[in-house]
Amino acid sequence: MKRLGAALLSESVLSESERTFVHEKTLWVLENVGVSIPSARALALLERGGAAVDRECQVARLPRQLVEHCLSTAPGTVLLAARDAAHDIHLGAGGRLVCCADGEGTLVVDDLTGVVRDATLDDMRDVCRLYDALPEIDFLWTSLAAPTLDPAVAPLLVDAVALRESSKHLQSVSPKTPAMVPALVEMLEAAAGASLAERPIYSFLHCAVAPLQHDPEVTEANLDLVANGATICLVSMPQMGSTAPMSVLGLCVLVMAELLSGVVLFQLATPGCRIVLEPMPGATDMRTGGYLGGAPEVALASRVCVAMSRSCGLPTIGSGSTTDANGVDYQAGSESMLLWSSVALAGADGLVASSFFNGSRVLSPAKTVLDADAIGTLHRFLEGVRFTDEEALLDDIAAVGPGGHFLGRSSTRARARAGEVFEPRAFRRRRLGDHADTELVADAAARARELLATHEVEPLPDGADRLIDRAIETYRATA
């Protein structure tokens, strides 16, 4: 069964008047407040496009007509290609909700002892291979970066690990500087065996600096990467009460303004380039100043921002994995599922959906496995109900009649074998006491270890390993 189309879901979340209201307020912010981009290259690009540029303040104000024009040139569907074409994803086409893991953390928990430690290179390899093994994880973020990596080339090393340890599509925060782009492109095209324009196996995250700013060096690097055919994922992550206004609506307007400012910038640079919107609102714990990702207000804001992004006609990935829990526990599951549901039911094409707790800081292999079952549960829920004569099974009801049972019916056997009732692999559905000697988290950790021991990743094309290493070392020599 296919879920209700993303566009229809987004329309059911907000009324037409509500969508118009949010869009009008967003356009007002862009035209009257503007965005700060301390880059002469970016400002010149925006000015040529019709923006009002204050070079002294390095602020560009974007008129309504410019925003609407750039929205019209961005494609409504985007291919997220993979090294293995069997894992290719088409965002915006109204298909199944696709899911990836969160990132980019530096800490890992031992699920059996509860000890949290710095991530290592082996952890980086293991988690990418685990994602490759789990069918519920459709594509990857680079989830871990070991603190011991050489900082001069760390972004390239992180991406190289993911390319080697998974054959699925990769999203990452690289590159950090324009000088890094040629090395990254060489690595990606070696892994793809084709140009990025032909096989876009990589998409990169361009995150605004809240409120209403774009980092100059990262912006210039990403302009170069878009020109090479990579897909850009525009991210906005303001926090209500600190880097965003202290209301859910104000937070949503700021998120949309940051996202649409990115659409304008990159569509002016490379008209028709592939863009994905990734709204990721947060909140601030006003007692500590800390980040909150699992609060209900975040779910509300995510719901609105995903619906608004889809109403713009652009492929959208929503944030849903963040939990403020300090372990793999009831709180973590409850907060994650609330966020996932808010994003999925708002019509998102994709969902950032697994692995972390403590505000996306700590990765848990057990949570990765448990989240896979939760994703399966969500997928089954999104399939909904087909209202047809065939599905009503009236013949069975008539044949069994009052007081009978349906265990002997051929439809019961056939549908059970076909997966009519979702069967989890880690969640428990057995008799009370069957698992009295083990904890659920321990079982999930054991499954993660089993997958890592048995799963084999599709190898890179011949010679790609050598080309990736050469690209990194060439960049290291000049960094």
In our burial notation (b when 16+ CB lie closer than 10 A, e otherwise), range 193-225 reads ebebeebbbbbbbbbbbbbbbbbbebbbbbbbb
**Does residue 337 sit within a domain?**
yes
For residue 479, the Cα-to-chain-centroid distance in whole angstroms is: 30
Query: Is 47 inside a domain boundary?
Result: no
- 37, part of any domain: no
Q: How confident is the model at residue 189 (pLDDT cuts 50, 70, 90)?
A: very high
The DSSP H or E segment spanning 284 is: strand 282-284
pLDDT, average across residues 437-450: 90
Question: What does the pLDDT average to over 404-414?
Answer: 95
Q: What is the mean pLDDT of residues 70-87?
A: 97
Average pLDDT over all residues of the chain: 93
In a domain, 155, yes or no: yes
Residue 443 domain flag: no
* Whole-angstrom distance, CA of residue 392 vs CA of residue 76: 36
Find the range with the poorest average confidence among 30-34, 191-195, 373-377, 424-428. Answer: 424-428
The answer to whether residue 93 sits within a structural domain is: yes
CATH number of the structural domain spanning residue 344: 3.20.20.480
**Pairwise CA distance, residues 183 & 235, whole Å:** 24
State how many domains the chain has: 1
Which range (169-178, 180-189, 215-224, 399-408) has the least confidence? 169-178
pLDDT digits (tens, 9 = 90+) for 6-43: 555 656 789 999 999 999 999 999 999 999 999 999 99
Structure-token match 């980086």, residue found: 124
* pLDDT tens digits along 317-332: 998 767 899 999 999 9
> For the residues 327-349, what does the mean pLDDT come to?
93
Q: What is the pLDDT of residues 275-289, one digit of tens each?
A: 999 999 999 999 999
The CA-based dihedral angle spanning residues 180, 185, 188, 190, taken in that order and rounded to the nearest 10 degrees: -120
Q: Indicate whether this model's pTM tops 0.85.
A: yes
Q: Is 50 inside any structural domain?
A: no
Domain that holds residue 75: 71-383
The total number of residues written for the chain in this structure: 479
